[in-house]
Chains A and B, each alone.
Chain A
Amino acid sequence: MSWVIAAFAVTGVVLVAYAVRLRMRIAELRSADRQRS
């Protein structure tokens, strides 16, 4: 069972980490864009 939990956990962590990284970078660039304009 621990192998299954590990597989699902790895998938969840990778996808969530990537999504969070995208959102943070988008927020950062949007904020810089607003400051420019």
Chain B
Amino acid sequence: MVSALVTLTVVAAIAWLVWVSLDVASRADTARSVGIAALVVLPIWLVMVIYYAPIEQVQGVVQKIFYVHTPAILPTYLGFILTAVGGIGFLRTRREGWDQLAIAGCEVGVVFCSLMLLVGPIWAKPVWGQWWVWDLRLTSTLILWFIYVAYLMLRGLAFGSDTAKTFSAIYGIAGTAAIPFVYFAVDLAQGSTMHPSNPAREGLPPEMGRTAGVGLIAFLLVFAWLVARRLQLAALEAKAQAARGGDVA
């Protein structure tokens, strides 16, 4: 039930964000209802984390960090996939909205990837006894973060240039090749990684699975709301840039 809702939220979020990106000026205000939905689901998730999810026997209460660490994974991947979707759309149509979708997806994806990299060590220190280990999952996630931070730096340095947009689109599409590598890093390491395997395959107890699922939905709603707002900002920046260009001319 919860996993079906998560899938539905993912599909709906992508479809809605693509729809908004095609006419940001008149559609961005629909983000308000997504923001309200996030504000409803977030407290439910927090109550489930505190009162519903059982305390894990081996790790104790520290295991509850799992509920805030793992929900950040899906928005990270989705943000970077949106960068590729926006890049493909831009290369095919040269429409500004697709390029703005690519930037918005990337920036919000980097925020969630940063959260994963910040929260993971807070769990690792009490459980592993160290903040960080250079194993395949952690290192590949850090490389993924660098790939997309480099994308944002590229965009920041060359705002508005058509060549930069084309190059960024190709870079954003190529960057997604790193996602399956990060996702399957634990399998590729063949037992030599300290990072736990992907939760979907661990067969969590129902209470833990439901809590993690509601967390995923909450984070997806926050993600969608942030991307829509970032799209709105990108559209306003483009308008301001055009006005400045007009003044100069």
Please report A residues at the B interface, Cβ cutoff 8 Å. Answer: 1, 3-4, 6-8, 10-11, 14-15, 18-19, 22-23, 25-26, 29-30, 32-33, 36
Once the chains bind, are A29 and B233 in contact (CB under 8 Å)?
yes
Chain A, Cβ-Cβ closest to B110 = A18
Q: Which one of B141-149, B153-161, B169-177, B222-230 is at the interface? A: B222-230
A26 with B65, Cβ < 8 A, contacts A7-B122, A14-B118 known: no
Question: In the complex, how many angstroms separate the beta carbon of B225 from the nearest chain A beta carbon?
Answer: 8
Is residue B27 contacting chain A, with contact meaning CB distance below 8 A?
A: no
Interface residues of B, count at CB 8 A: 27
Once the chains bind, are B115 and A10 in contact (CB under 8 Å)?
yes
Task: Please name all residues of chain B whose beta carbon is closer than 8 Å to the beta carbon of A7 when the two chains form the complex.
Answer: 65, 68-69, 119, 122-123
Q: Which of A15, A23, A36 contacts B222 (CB 8 A)?
A: A15
Once the chains bind, are A25 and B68 in contact (CB under 8 Å)?
no
23 of the cross-chain contacts (CB-CB < 8 Å) are A1-B61, A3-B62, A3-B122, A3-B123, A3-B125, A4-B64, A7-B122, A8-B68, A14-B111, A14-B115, A15-B115, A15-B226, A18-B111, A18-B226, A22-B226, A22-B233, A25-B233, A26-B229, A26-B236, A29-B233, A32-B240, A33-B236, A33-B239
